[in-house]
Amino acid sequence: MNVVFISPHYPPEMAGFTRGLAEVGANVIGVGEGSAAALPNATRGHLADWVSVPKLFDEESAANALVRALRGRKIDRIESLWEPTVLLAARVRDLTGVPGMSRDTVLGFRDKQLMKERVARAGLRVPLSRRVTTVTEARHAALEIGFPVIIKPIAGAGSADTFRCDDGPELERALARMSHIGEASVEEFIDGEEFTCDAISIDGRPVFESVTQYHPRPLIARSEEWVSPAQLTFRDPHERALAGGVELGRNVLAALGMGSGFTHMEWYKKSNGEVVFGEIAARSGGGHLIDMMNWANDIDVYREWARAVCWGRFDARVARRYHVAMVFKRALGQGRIARIEGLRELRAACGPAWVGDHLLPVGTRRRNWKQTVVSDGGVALRHPDYRTCRALMEKAIGELTLYARP
């Protein structure tokens, strides 16, 4: 089994998927810019070969270079789990005849407006939206849909360059900040709680599902520096309160023609119980979501994804043992981390529920909170009881503090 895996080292969680491929018996051919010698040891040790392309984000150039490099070799799968390169993987599949989702299918998971149109045609509830390429079009779309609206890049990832606009002046400020974006979607703002529905599918059939709730919604967390973004993965995604979102996720996969692989979908639950589609990507979720799935079920999701795409099997026994919470912290102040308060007390309060932390060490320069999901690191905990897990999560939000100084 020869598997081409684009960007096997970045984002950092790709190293786990590279390991998973190797552990299920794949010969992993990594693809990226530069030399294999520059790769982290943890990644390089799981690669059978490396193909360097000059411009990874130039789809046509990278596809042609990759096709030339693979000529004469038997390739069984071409995979990518990084948002900017999923279309490249699909294009190379189309050019080489390697099995997997076509570029047109994957485009439905990448182009946010096309995505909503295809999902809406299946009779599923989606936010009203319009594709815009000019400031004038954006203004007209907002007036047609009605404020408040959300404006976001057509091919964006996560909540980057995404803004809520409650009126015309806010729209104008958002448009000024998005002047580097060539194409955007203006859509209805859905007032509700925000969740994910993550799935591994084999030939379009979900064989593993997981639901996580954001605390607060990512749009708020990306707008307010004082917020400690948190997320809670539910022990059982099939409980009654989440059933509507899981059913929506399955219907969306069918509407978009999902094949085999990972998907990360975001959805809303309104106060009246209505579930509304947000968006979906043909990739794994970031922000340690895969680790949270592993901790919730005591399995190796990295390896099981690899087994699903390589051999069409999901062999792990899903335990559904724990609710898992992850809290990301943002240091108060600027410069380097000077001290951390409340960590020892939090660990003691969590006891066996404590999973671990990846907080930036004292002396490390804090990160730009607008450019990273994981902020200045975070803590993870798990518990079989939802209320206990939620209470410990709130404790971490309120009582754990990082301080920075120049």
Same domain, 226 and 372: yes
Which CATH number characterizes residue 93's domain? 3.40.50.20
- Are residues 339 and 247 part of one domain? yes
Q: Which residue has the tokens 């409650």?
A: 166
- CATH number of the domain enclosing 164: 3.30.1490.20
Query: What is the number of domains present in the chain?
Result: 3
CB atoms within 10 A of CB 373: 21
For 146, the domain range is 128-188
Inside any domain, residue 119: no
86 and 136 both lie in a single domain: no
Distances (CA, A) of 356 to 39, 228, 230, 347, 362: 26, 17, 15, 9, 17
Q: Distance between CA 394 and CA 406 in Å, rounded?
A: 29
- Do residue 297 and residue 183 come from a single domain? no
Q: Would you call 169 helix, strand, or coil by DSSP?
A: helix
Same domain, 236 and 168: no
**To the nearest 10°, the Cα dihedral for 112, 82, 287, 9?**
-170
Own/partner pairs for 312-320, CB < 8 Å, 24+ apart?
312/202, 312/203, 312/260, 313/202, 314/200, 314/202, 314/207, 314/208, 316/208, 318/208, 320/235, 320/236, 320/296
CB 381 within 8 A of CB 393: yes
Torsion angle, alpha carbons of 380, 381, 385, 387, to 10: -70
Is residue 221 one of the residues assigned to a domain?
Answer: yes
Contact 289, 211 (CB under 8 A): no
What type of residue sits at position 193? Answer: E
List phi, psi (to 5°) of 196: -115, 160
From first to last of its 406 residues, what are the pLDDT tens digits of the chain? 999 999 999 999 999 999 999 999 999 999 999 999 999 998 999 999 999 999 999 999 999 999 999 999 999 999 999 999 999 999 999 999 999 999 999 999 999 999 999 999 999 999 999 999 999 999 999 999 999 999 999 876 656 788 999 999 999 999 999 988 889 999 999 999 999 999 999 999 999 999 999 999 998 998 899 999 999 999 999 999 999 999 999 999 999 999 999 999 999 999 999 999 999 999 999 999 999 999 999 999 999 999 999 999 999 999 899 999 999 999 999 999 999 999 999 999 999 999 999 999 999 999 999 888 899 999 999 999 999 999 999 999 999 999 999 9
- The C-alpha atoms of residue 236 and residue 241 are separated, in whole angstroms, by 10
Domain end marker among 188, 205, 233: 188
CA distance 99 to 91: 12
Residue closest to 265 by CA, chosen among 237, 240, 291: 237
Residues 145, 271, single domain; the answer is no
pTM of the model: 0.92
